[in-house]
Chains A and B, each alone.
Chain A
Amino acid sequence: MTLTELLQQNFMQHALLASLLVSVTCGVIGALVVVNRLTFMAGGIAHTAYGGVGLAFFLGAPVLPTAGAFTAGAAMLLGTLTLKKRERTDTLIGVIWAAGMAFGIIMINLTPGYNVGLMSYLFGSILTVPASDLWLMLGIDVVIVSLTLYFYRDILSFSFDPDFARSRGIPVQWLYFMILIMVAEAVVMMIQVVGLILVIALLTLPPYLAERHTKSLAGLMVASGIWSFVFCLGGLWVAYQFDLSSGASIIATACAFYLAVAGGQKLWNLMSRQEKTAA
């Protein structure tokens, strides 16, 4: 099948659209996760989403909306617990992380029949995204981008220095919960693309690559979104060429880019230092 023919296929058009929609959220939320040092928290939320997936299977309800509501609740619970016991944040995240997954597994066990589609939620299946999920993704994109634009100054001030933000009267706890819920919705949206196990890599690798060359949080969000889209397209190509899992291919592409850029940077620094020494 030629590339033109491939692009005319419905599943591929959906996959490209899903990549674009996910990249928008990925850029915004990934940047917030990285600058607020919420990577472990986001990992916890992502794995807790499995509980929502299990619940949806058990109830026979649509997966993404059910998982979205369940994960938002889990994010609120995590936020409340970590605010009360800041010194035990890592332990509490670990507990909720495992509890969410265990709940999901038990729900699946209690669901009659063999749930063949379950693996796609663990490892992603961008090539099977239905049109209804694309609309849901678009909705999540619109909400996340609108909230971020409207509260940009508060989010910026909170992310840089929460104490100062509080001294300015900014409701930092409210913002914290808002960010966690946005992370929860972003995770649920990305489950379709890379699966909940690999979500965290697609959230964090693009900002890692972009942060050295950006001078603003908004710039970091845009650059991370672009990197994310590049990884999704690259991963799709790799998956198609070598008949591999699309989610894993996207993350493998991101990791390869990261290693190439980080390695190239190191090499460049080393060469510059040697040139200076020689001079």
Chain B
Amino acid sequence: MDSPSHLHSQKAITPEPIIQLRNVAFDYENTRALSDINIDIARGEFIAVIGPNGGGKTTLMRLILGLLTPTEGEVRIFGEHPGTNPDRIGYVPQHSNTSPGFPASVEQVVLMGLAQGNSLFGKRRGIRYTREERAQAEHAMRRAGVSDLGKRRLNELSGGQRQRVLIARALITQPELLILDEPLSNIDPYGRQCILETLIGLDSQTTVVMVSHDLGITANAVTGIIAVNRFALASSDAKLTPAMLDLMYGIHEAGCPVHSLLQQMVETMPSENKPTDGKTACGNSHDTH
């Protein structure tokens, strides 16, 4: 197998990638979680980050967000250190990481996306939100297809609706880069479809990086895949390569049940989750800003 470090994305030739990782490694205490990661992601791409559980997908996202600092190498987002421009990046964690019983309406959760901490003495302060801020929230809720849920509490919503509320919270600053950590986990098929439609309906200039351990998410909208399992391999189209499968699940000889399963994955993968035009079953119009 080729060394993963030499197989980074073909997007490296695209001018000014908005996400750049160079020779990045990360250790959790004495355990190496990621090694030799070289990735370039250009503006407007829809990248699926896939790999087995514990393979380092979430660690990779946290490095990009600036929540972790690499042990080795360098991460650049919009040409700067991660975390320098929080308004340009929208982060969507798994809805199960948040408490549904939290005392907040959907609108208030979305407005939390405006919290700004570069300075503790910044401008956006106080309990009450301005009319302009509420209009921003309304716009974000509309884009995520949850505008009719504004007054509801999170514990009154389904998992899929809660996830879209978190997408709306990330969209409120109209970010150029949207990073989603397993947004389709613990969501029923209808909810998954709604979330994918929301993401597909975003402005073509919005770059989406979505983590999933589910290979089936590689929708038609996906423009590239990054397979992560301590190392990373990137492809410039939405197709898995044998090298990626080897990286994620190891090498299995023909005749082995795992080999057949992986072959089946590769053959059946594309064509799912096709984008739809105009008004969707989830009630959100595709909206560009």
Residues of A within 8 A of B (CB): 31, 35, 149-154, 156-157, 159-161, 163-171, 174, 211, 214-220
Contact = CB atoms under 8 A, between A and B. Distances in A.
Interface of B is mostly: loop
Contacts of B103: 31, 35, 211, 214-217, 219-220
A224 B97 CA distance: 25
B52 interface: no
B115 A161 contact: no
Interface of A is mostly: helix
Nearest to B84: A169
Contacts of B180: none
Interface stretch (B122-130, B188-196, B237-245, B270-278): B122-130
A153 B121 CA distance: 12
Given A169-B86, A215-B103, A215-B104, A153 B97 contact: no
B83 A169 contact: yes
A171 B153 contact: no
A160 B117 contact: no
B108 A216 contact: yes
Contacts of B98: 160-161
6 contacts: A153-B124, A156-B108, A156-B112, A167-B86, A169-B118, A170-B117
Contacts of B83: 167, 169
B231 interface: no
Contacts of B17: none
A35 B116 CA distance: 21
B266 to A, nearest CB: 33
A167 B91 contact: yes
A171 B117 contact: yes
A215 B153 CA distance: 7
Contacts of A152: 125-127
A257 to B, nearest CB: 19
B104 A163 contact: no
Contacts of B118: 169
Contacts of B125: 150, 152-153
A169 B102 CA distance: 22
A165 B117 contact: yes
- Interface residue tally on B, bucketed by range: 20 to 34
A149 B126 contact: yes
A171 B104 contact: no
Nearest to A171: B117
B241 to A, nearest CB: 31
Shortest beta-carbon contacts, A-B, top 7: A170-B117, A157-B115, A169-B117, A167-B91, A220-B103, A157-B112, A169-B86
Contacts of A150: 125
A142 B115 CA distance: 24
Given A216-B105, A217-B103, A154 B91 contact: no
Interface string B56-99: 00000000011100000000000000010010010101000111
Contacts of B112: 153, 156-157, 160-161, 164
Nearest to B106: A215
A169 B113 CA distance: 11
Contact of A161 (B86, B93, B105): B93
A156 B104 CA distance: 9
A49 B113 CA distance: 37
Given A156-B104, A216-B108, A169 B116 contact: yes
B257 interface: no
B169 interface: yes
Contact of B104 (A164, A167, A170, A216): A216
A168 B93 contact: no
Contacts of A171: 117, 120
Nearest to A160: B102
Given A153-B114, A169-B116, 4 more contacts: A152-B125, A166-B65, A168-B115, A168-B116
A167 B89 contact: yes
Nearest to B109: A160
A168 B117 contact: yes
A149 B127 CA distance: 7
B101 interface: yes
A163 B115 contact: no
Interface string B39-58: 00000000000000000000
